[in-house]
Structure 1
């Protein structure tokens, strides 16, 4: 398997609301089939799909809190999506854009113990995002995030 991320699919409760949120962040929807929205995000894609359809497609029993299937139940599945940027100032700008679009700020941007600067928010469906500046990593002009020396 290639060591890269090429698609993140978010299960959403209201596809129109979710699309409107990401458009308010400044994202442009790409060509998409009915009932799903794709966004080209640099060298990868983010998809929005109705949560129950995604659950069924993934084999997750969302209505049964006691199901043994990994990821089952109507709870957060333990995912945090990250956006790395080139400076602390860019973190602040991205966090302000998210807030203006309707995000709930979980952790305002601040200096972090690992030497960087980051903030955390959720979108309208509770998906958690971290916007981060890591001084030990490189963010290329084409949006790639390159790991540094392991300090951050």
Structure 2
């Protein structure tokens, strides 16, 4: 048994969803590649280029985490997902595209106080996604975000 510190890694974001079929269709429409499809509608995994988005029935995920699944808040839950872009035009394109796939517009794109440009959409369960271009943050061809040291 190793006595050294474990190497930190962030691998999967699991979203509790109320309708697996609708959420799977939404994330496929956004263009995320579904992997390990033999899981059917029990759980769904999508490649994001560095981490994985997993979809799992809301009540089962709450039970697994030993948390109550009711009441289901329609308010902010303290977490957002982000889709970083390389230009203002790309932010607008992504927001329009997400809306065309069934997302709800939570906040129109606008200039930010830190010199970026950002807007928000909600997925079918209203998990908020920020679509953003931020100074100093680059998205490379490998779809990974590269941060300055």
Regarding TM over 0.5, the answer is: yes
Cα distance in 2 for residues equivalent to 1:106 and 1:139: 23
1:147 Cα deviation after fit: 2.3
Cα distance in 1 for residues equivalent to 2:30 and 2:94: 9
- Gapped runs of 5+ residues in structure 2? 1-5
1:26 Cα deviation after fit: 1.9
The answer to whether 1:52 aligns with 2:50 is no
Return closer, same or farther for 1:15/1:110 CA change in 2, 3 Å cut-off. Answer: same
- Gapped runs of 5+ residues in structure 1? 64-72
How many residues end up aligned between the 2 structures?
Answer: 140
In structure 1, the partner of 2:26 is: 21
In structure 1, the partner of 2:72 is: 74
Cα distance in 1 for residues equivalent to 2:9 and 2:86: 20
In structure 2, the partner of 1:66 is: none
1:28 Cα deviation after fit: 2.3
Cα distance in 2 for residues equivalent to 1:145 and 1:51: 29
1:143 Cα deviation after fit: 1.6
In structure 2, the partner of 1:70 is: none
Indicate the RMSD between aligned Cα atoms, in angstroms. Answer: 1.6
In structure 2, the partner of 1:86 is: 86
Alignment deviations for residues 87-127 of structure 1 (CA, whole Å, 9 cap, x no partner): 11111111011000111111111111110011101011010
TM-score, reference length from structure 1: 0.85
Secondary structure (helix, strand or coil) at the match of 2:141 reads coil
